Structure 1
């Protein structure tokens, strides 16, 4: 064998391994083990060491030649495979790696098992790792230590008010008043015992788990405490709008309405009150239509300009000037589509602001009236009115508000004809008395009120088929209209009120239209019979202090001719005559009393009490017979009235003597 390095002092033997031919049918391989292969080194002259020196010092191992490569398979239809070249040691290396991997895996499993068992032993009986209770970390602690820590850190919270978050409202709840207590044993039990799952035990080193507290609560007390807070928690929806501070517009943001869901809220409080965080209680919400953006747009696009200066309304002969503050009062706001806030002019507020300045440019119309001169009815001519047409002026006024200059408009007027013209009154056939009645014996104060209402009604005209209402015709009957305090009967006891005594006028009116053959359109008798009135044929009226009609009297004119009401007042009597065309003859009859009831005693300790012997109650039936002069036909109408007994009043000294 020739030397590997002919120029050196040392040489290495080289071994040549010839390819191995393997029969494809038997797949036989050489039996040599790679470990028995000789170690082969080689030295290359002039490379890696100085010439002339001992080369063995520089010799490097030469890896064994690769095993012969395996031949590729021939096409399937040939059935012949060529020789396979296999490099030595290529099959043995994966086997060794597999053995090593199995050894390492077994070692890891053994170590993990040892640690798992040790962890089970050490942590036995303790709270699992990673557990927090109401934010307090008690993981890995003994149950006793965990309870002590919880008492130390959570205990101080328990006497403090519980913060509640209810929609857009914050409130506080007294836990003691609500009967809330902490269940310490139940809380520790919630933490649970040591888990056996190795995965759970491993992940507990890196994670935490909140288990919360166990509480005791009296549902009735908790619900009651929440209901007591309802006035603060609940509120109606607030639509977005614009308010004014003087002439300065300020946006009012919309808010949804909300209402406490008490039963669910109680459960939420019991479950979370000791957490240290605000308890969010469930609410039912009522959405609003406007949005904050819609309000801001109305404010910036319209309202700020509307109140940027005064507005002049030019009337016929006189003008009205509205200040920015007055303009602000005439604006009205309402929800629009898509969250918008609509802005418009309010007609009533515009009239209120401008009409007083333009009153000299208008003329009040007057209906034709019937006056009684020399005991006969005479027609007083009607007067047409001239008034501002506020409906026509409303949109032009709003258009002016959108301008920053030339902020004025010309007022539109309208003529208002009388409801009863002179010609109509002359054609109504008001020529004779068709019904009249007189009552007497009223007190002085009552007489004042009767005189005021008589003057108001005198000359009133009731057109054909029209209904006359006393309360509607007179309007409010208060001190501003000239009425005074006078006697009334309230709950069976004499009392006083402004406008007392008008019932006597109502009774007189009822009997006048009773005998005129008019159609009753509604009346109410007194609860107690008053001796100066006919039994079953009388009426009372009542209006509250605000002028609202509570008890009224009304009649309808059924004919094609008109009616005029004449009132004749004296300090001791009131007479009412109805004038028209007499088409009916009327008679009336009243039955005797039946179904009597006896009075009861009533003790009164009010100042001004007047004793009374009382009077029995009873029922009567009144029958009116009406004969139509035009047809000769008669008809009868009956009405039964029940009167309560009047109390026997016993006066006692008022408190304090």
Structure 2
């Protein structure tokens, strides 16, 4: 290629591109190939932007430029100048997208267009490039942060992990477990509060078989998450992990059963209660019953957490509603006590006061959400009958009493009384009235229930059976006398059965009985009512010789020498007076039987009166199968009465009964086994203190 002396050294590529453009504008040069255009045009643009201009003649005319010889590929490559840094990237070969240098207008003065002002598409491209660079830098920085955070937190509990209010996030497992033990350990043995609805109570974790598992709790938190979004979120949020505990389910169920009465609630129907004469509505309350299996699961899962454990329960419905109770209040209760009720008697009136009305009113669910009312007659009668006492004559039953050493009949007396059922038949309607609140007392004849004729027909006129026992201590004598007073005068009609426990009812301090000696497990003891067995033995023998049918009796476990062997009895009642061991016999005679008793300080006699029908004899057999007593030592400090003991044995008693009216003879044999009464030794008393 010939040298160009008009261009300073180093400017040849720019001069050549400029010459080419001039040839194109004047038509003096042949068009280049598209490859040459693609290669050279960007270089012209670069020269223009760099401010390099070709040397032109002073007259402004275009110089005559010799046609250049073709360059080789190597020469073209050497002449391509480097692109400026902000030059927009263009695809090679896309000639239509390459900006062209405009042709010089006529009168061109030699000034080239300025290349310092980029077009709008160029600006957008540059903004996208800058944004891409910034985004790349940000992604790179975040990647570095993520990798660094992952490396720093490896092997630790995930950030934000909280167990029962204790933050263990970021700690290794050992440190997290230590933290939980220090923060939560002291409180895990404190009582756990349980709540069911509005009721609450506590259980002791240790007694309920509950224990914490700190290691499993930490392990439950898991490991560090790999998800970057999860890790970023953990910087601003917390993750609650339930404490892991172990429990003996059966032991926990037993503990819950013990406190269940404090949490369960029986349903309560709505009701009307009275404060003096003022009615007050009591709203219904639904019941609640623990779902025991679900409650056990809930305690096992949450007992170590803060706050009360709320147990699941089932609701027990009621049939009344608040509206139904209010309706009963306004429509029934309030009108009923708004004024008294007058009861008109024969020659005298009585007043049923609002207080008595309120006490007599009863309410119960009506099945439709409301309440239905009724009047308790005994309460209402008790409020007015004493006021009409002068108009009422009580009937009196006939009595059979002892007079002159023999039974006599006291005649019965008929009376006049009030039929209260008929008198108060319309009381509900009257109680709803604001006025005319009166009822009429209806008087009726009242015959005696046990008439003189009935008493005479009982045939109670002679002794048919009698027995006496002796020897008892003073306290036992008090109890024997008290029970004798209660039984004295009892009458048993033909076919009826007499029960000692049933006749006396409970025999406690309130009934006049005292503590006395008893035999318990072969050892002397004391109990209220001791000594009654002696009366029971006496009564049993009196009925035995009267020919009564034995229904129930039980001999003592140990033989007592003051009683006939094989022909004695004991009795026993529970703490509430319930009958456990009793003496019962049935009147199989044609006449009635009356029991009388005579008491002295050393003996008790029971007599049965009637019409003699049976002749009775007794035959006691030999004592067989003797058993020797064992020795027992009572520990020091316990109550003790030494005893020499007695042998045990078996015995048969045979009763022969002849019916005097028919001549029929009946034989009965009773077999009794007595245990040996142990030999009691009292242990040495404890040494004196000090």
TM-score for the superposition, normalised by structure 1: 0.65
Alpha carbons 1:254, 1:292 under 8 Å: kept: no
Matches of 2:679 and 2:419, distance apart in 1 = 60
Alpha carbons 2:283, 2:321 under 8 Å: kept: no
**Secondary structure, counterpart of 1:218 in structure 2:** strand
Alpha carbons 1:371, 1:377 under 8 Å: kept: yes
Superimposed CA distance per residue, residues 162-207 of structure 1 (whole angstroms, 9 cap, x where no aligned partner): 77553343567888995346669857855884569xxxx79x99xx
Query: How many equivalent residue pairs?
Result: 541
Moved more, 642-651 or 583-592: 642-651
Aligned to 1:259: 290
Moved more, 583-592 or 502-511: 502-511
Aligned residue runs from structure 1 range 63-102, under 5 A: none
Q: Does 1:646 align with 2:677?
A: yes
Q: Which of 534, 552, 563 in structure 1 is aligned with 2:593?
A: 563
Superimposed CA distance per residue, residues 88-126 of structure 1 (whole angstroms, 9 cap, x where no aligned partner): xxxxxxxxxxxxxxxxxxxxxxx9999999988876759
Aligned to 1:213: 241
Matches of 2:634 and 2:185, distance apart in 1 = 57
Aligned residue runs from structure 1 range 230-249, under 5 A: 230-231=259-260, 234-242=263-271, 243-248=273-278, 249=280
Superimposed CA distance per residue, residues 495-517 of structure 1 (whole angstroms, 9 cap, x where no aligned partner): 55555444333322222221222
Q: CA deviation at 1:419?
A: 4.0
Q: Which of 637, 644, 662 in structure 2 is aligned with 1:613?
A: 644
Aligned to 2:546: 516
**Secondary structure, counterpart of 1:525 in structure 2:** coil
**Secondary structure, counterpart of 2:244 in structure 1:** strand
Q: CA deviation at 1:626?
A: 1.8
Alpha carbons 2:160, 2:237 under 8 Å: kept: yes
Q: CA deviation at 1:463?
A: 1.8
Alpha carbons 2:164, 2:305 under 8 Å: kept: yes
Q: CA deviation at 1:217?
A: 0.5
Aligned to 1:601: 632
Matches of 2:174 and 2:471, distance apart in 1 = 91
Matches of 2:242 and 2:378, distance apart in 1 = 62
- Could you tell me which runs of 5 or more consecutive residues in structure 1 were left unpaired when the two chains were aligned: 1-110
**Secondary structure, counterpart of 2:541 in structure 1:** helix
* Inter-CA distance 218–580: structure 2 relative to 1 (3 Å threshold): same
**Secondary structure, counterpart of 1:237 in structure 2:** coil
* Inter-CA distance 340–429: structure 2 relative to 1 (3 Å threshold): same
Alpha carbons 1:621, 1:640 under 8 Å: kept: yes
Superimposed CA distance per residue, residues 185-242 of structure 1 (whole angstroms, 9 cap, x where no aligned partner): 857855884569xxxx79x99xx99964153202239947973983476223131344
**Secondary structure, counterpart of 1:539 in structure 2:** coil
Aligned to 1:83: none
Alpha carbons 1:133, 1:212 under 8 Å: kept: yes
Alpha carbons 1:159, 1:175 under 8 Å: kept: no
Aligned residue runs from structure 1 range 151-230, under 5 A: 165-170=195-200, 178-180=210-212, 189=221, 193-194=225-226, 212-220=240-248, 223=252, 227=256, 230=259
Superimposed CA distance per residue, residues 372-399 of structure 1 (whole angstroms, 9 cap, x where no aligned partner): 4444433222234555555556654454
Aligned residue runs from structure 1 range 136-535, under 5 A: 165-170=195-200, 178-180=210-212, 189=221, 193-194=225-226, 212-220=240-248, 223=252, 227=256, 230-231=259-260, 234-242=263-271, 243-248=273-278, 249-261=280-292, 263-269=293-299, 271=301, 279-308=309-338, 310=340, 324-347=354-377, 349-350=379-380, 365-384=395-414, 389=419, 391-392=421-422, 396-405=426-435, 407-412=437-442, 416-477=446-507, 486-496=516-526, 499-535=529-565
Aligned to 2:115: none
Alpha carbons 1:522, 1:554 under 8 Å: kept: yes
Q: CA deviation at 1:620?
A: 1.7
Structure of larger gyration radius: 2
Matches of 1:233 and 1:551, distance apart in 2 = 37
**Secondary structure, counterpart of 1:624 in structure 2:** strand
* Inter-CA distance 655–423: structure 2 relative to 1 (3 Å threshold): farther
Q: Which of 538, 545, 549 in structure 1 is aligned with 2:568?
A: 538
Alpha carbons 1:367, 1:421 under 8 Å: kept: yes
Q: Which of 584, 602, 608 in structure 2 is aligned with 1:554?
A: 584
**Secondary structure, counterpart of 2:241 in structure 1:** coil
Matches of 1:480 and 1:268, distance apart in 2 = 50
Matches of 2:204 and 2:643, distance apart in 1 = 58
TM-score for the superposition, normalised by structure 2: 0.62
Moved more, 509-518 or 394-403: 394-403
Pairwise CA RMSD? 5.3
Matches of 1:546 and 1:185, distance apart in 2 = 54
* Inter-CA distance 133–112: structure 2 relative to 1 (3 Å threshold): farther
* Inter-CA distance 157–470: structure 2 relative to 1 (3 Å threshold): closer
* Inter-CA distance 546–422: structure 2 relative to 1 (3 Å threshold): farther
Alpha carbons 1:312, 1:322 under 8 Å: kept: yes
Matches of 1:414 and 1:391, distance apart in 2 = 12
Q: CA deviation at 1:423?
A: 0.9
Matches of 1:605 and 1:361, distance apart in 2 = 70
- Could you tell me which runs of 5 or more consecutive residues in structure 2 were left unpaired when the two chains were aligned: 1-133
Matches of 2:627 and 2:341, distance apart in 1 = 70
Q: Which of 629, 633, 648 in structure 1 is aligned with 2:660?
A: 629
